[in-house]
Structure 1
Amino acid sequence: MTVHVALLRAINVGGAGMLAMADLRAICEGLGFGDAKTYIQSGNVLFRSDLPPPEAAAKLGAALGEKLGKAPGVMVRNAGQLQAIAENAPFPDAKTNLLHVVFLPNAAPADALEKLVAPDGEEVHVAGHEIYVHYPNGSGRSKLKLPALKPGTARNLNTVRKLAELAQAMVADEA
């Protein structure tokens, strides 16, 4: 079975989309996903499944929609994809807590950067289904405007690396 990592959008952020991680694990197990494990409270879950990432995302999204009354948006990457995302992060001089990866449900549009407004020196790099954003002054104070980010969910590079490490450990456990 393939190890997947699901990244949920708008879960446990600012009091919206409250979901206990124990409930998230139980939902995954109820869907037949094996070895479900969560990481921190922001909607990250690792699991095993034979489904391709888009199908796993749709299945989990539907189940979460039933539980929450509205599907939160689910982006799923397999262990290898997540490892490559972590390893290929641009902006090598950026502090890892200030470099975010925005996971998108589909590939970023070709014109993703056309409406970019980055007044605080933010740097942006588009890479397929991900957009990397370096927030030199932190994301909380940023006035960055980039419509292409809206359907996605962001994790800082520290979190992405930890999720990749956990996913690779699950892969190694299976071998």
Structure 2
Amino acid sequence: MTTHLGFLRAINLGATRVFPKDDIRRVTEAAGFGDVRTHINTGNIRFDTRMRSRAKIEQTLERAYAADRGFDVPAITFRADEFAALAADAVALDDDNPGLARHYIYLLKTELDADTVARVEARVSDAGRMVVRGRAAHALLQPGYQDGAVDPLDAAKLLGVATNRNLTVVRALAEKWC
């Protein structure tokens, strides 16, 4: 069995996309995954599986969630060791950029091609800048960026299927589950 972390996109946003963490756990277990745990109510899940293919894991989860909820729930997964490395890299990047107001990590379903990486990393302004590393795109936001802005660097549309978490959550999940 291998431990994986999953991140669900676009849930618990308004009245029509509700998916409480107890239901996420129930549906994930019913889909055949073991030792299922959740963290806060934003679609963070840990589970064990014998499946090796990330695509198959994500497809299995997405089908189970859609059948239970009646709407699509994109799932982005990482093996625990992959996520631990991603989190360590995020902490190092944060340490290399002191004084940030916020550091969001977009978790990507697929790696971006070189042209798209260049376009994402060209999103630089007084608000901050983007850095792409593997299946993570980091929004490094400076003091004074418009607090509360969903995508202050206007990069999300370039990332494909992705969901973001702040550095605090990424660090906590790595410490708790990896």
Instruction: Give the structure-2-normalised TM-score.
Output: 0.84
Q: Are residues 1:140 and 2:140 paired? A: no
Give the corresponding residue for 1:82: 83
Identity %: 27
Q: Are residues 1:114 and 2:119 paired? A: yes
Structure 2 unaligned regions, length at least 5: none
Over 3 Å counting, the alpha-carbon distance change for 1:71 and 1:4 in structure 2 is same
Q: Are residues 1:161 and 2:165 paired? A: no
**Number of aligned residues:** 168
Over 3 Å counting, the alpha-carbon distance change for 1:84 and 1:135 in structure 2 is same
> By how many angstroms is 1:119 displaced?
3.5
Deviates more, 1:73-82 or 1:14-23: 14-23
Q: Secondary structure at the match of 2:132?
A: strand
Give the corresponding residue for 2:61: 60
Structure 1 unaligned regions, length at least 5: 169-175
Deviates more, 1:18-27 or 1:120-129: 120-129
Q: Conserved in 2, the CA contact under 8 Å of 1:27 and 1:63?
A: yes
Q: Which letter maps to 1:21?
A: K
> By how many angstroms is 1:56 displaced?
1.3
Task: Supply the distance in 2 between the matched residues of 1:139 and 1:72 (Cα, whole angstroms).
Answer: 27
Q: Which letter maps to 1:11?
A: I
> By how many angstroms is 1:138 displaced?
6.2
CA RMSD of aligned residues (A): 2.1
Instruction: Give the structure-1-normalised TM-score.
Output: 0.85
Give the corresponding residue for 1:5: 5
Q: Conserved in 2, the CA contact under 8 Å of 1:98 and 1:139?
A: no
Task: Supply the distance in 1 between the matched residues of 2:100 and 2:17 (Cα, whole angstroms).
Answer: 26
Q: Conserved in 1, the CA contact under 8 Å of 2:127 and 2:146?
A: no
Deviates more, 1:68-77 or 1:23-32: 68-77
Q: Secondary structure at the match of 2:119?
A: coil
Task: Supply the distance in 2 between the matched residues of 1:8 and 1:55 (Cα, whole angstroms).
Answer: 15
